Amino acid sequence: MQKITPTLWFDHQAEDAVNFYLDIFKDAKILDVVRYGEGAPLPKDTVLTIKFTMAGQEFVALNGGPVYSFTPAVSFVIDCETQEEVDYYWDKLLAGGGQESQCAWLTDKYGLSWQVVPQALIRYLGDADPAKARRVMMAMFQMKKIIIADLEKAYAGS
């Protein structure tokens, strides 16, 4: 049992959002669904909470009404090994109305912030040679989606 479970507060789109994430993360699955009953703030049988897993992490999606919304102050990082993996998550999470941001950040159509980060970026930024790390950082600042080949060029100084 996971000790801490992030809860994602949605106005009324929890079920749609969970289904969106289930389509993206191949190992994702629903664990439990609790629905509103009679006299609740939302119509009877509307989803109250959905417990689900995504990439081995448990989450709860809550239909709590319009009281709160997501901000980039909390985001989820997707650790990627290849450009194909970066492209896959970037494109899937932007589908349907997401917004690109700088330096590997995006916001999906539900307002949740994500960072799609290739391992190469972390490795190059942590290089013992400060000139190489600086060139990579400067290249990253010019990108929205991270392009590993461009990082490699910056790292090499070409």
Give strand ranges (E) for the chain. 7-10, 29-35, 47-54, 57-63, 75-80, 99-100, 105-107, 113-118
Q: In the chain, how long is the greatest CA-to-CA distance?
A: 65
Q: How far apart, in whole angstroms, are the C-alpha atoms of residue 75 and residue 78?
A: 10
Contacts of 80 (CB under 8 A, 6+ apart): 86, 89, 116, 117, 118, 119
pLDDT of residue 103: 97
Tell me how far CA of residue 25 lies from CA of 34, 75, 79, 136, in angstroms: 22, 16, 13, 29
Instruction: Give me the CATH code for the 1-68 domain, please.
Output: 3.30.720.100
Q: What is the mean pLDDT of the chain?
A: 97
Domain 1-68 and domain 70-158 have a common topology: no
Q: Are 29 and 21 in contact (CB under 8 A)?
A: no
Predicted structure pTM score? 0.94
Percent of the chain residues past pLDDT 90, beyond the cut: 96
Q: How far apart, in whole angstroms, are the C-alpha atoms of residue 92 and residue 103?
A: 17
Query: Binning pLDDT at 50, 70 and 90, where does residue 9 land?
Result: very high
What are the boundaries of each domain within the chain? 1-68, 70-158
Whether CATH 3.30.70.330 fits 70-158: no
pLDDT, tens digit, 9 for 90 and up, residues 43-100:
899 999 999 999 999 999 999 999 999 999 999 999 999 999 999 999 999 999 999 9
- Residue 150's region, left for phi above 0, alpha for psi from -120 to 50, else beta, is alpha
pLDDT of residue 1: 79
Q: Which residue has the tokens 């789109």?
A: 13
Q: Look at residue 15 and tell me whether its pLDDT is greater than 90.
A: yes
Give strand ranges (E) for 45-112. 47-54, 57-63, 75-80, 99-100, 105-107
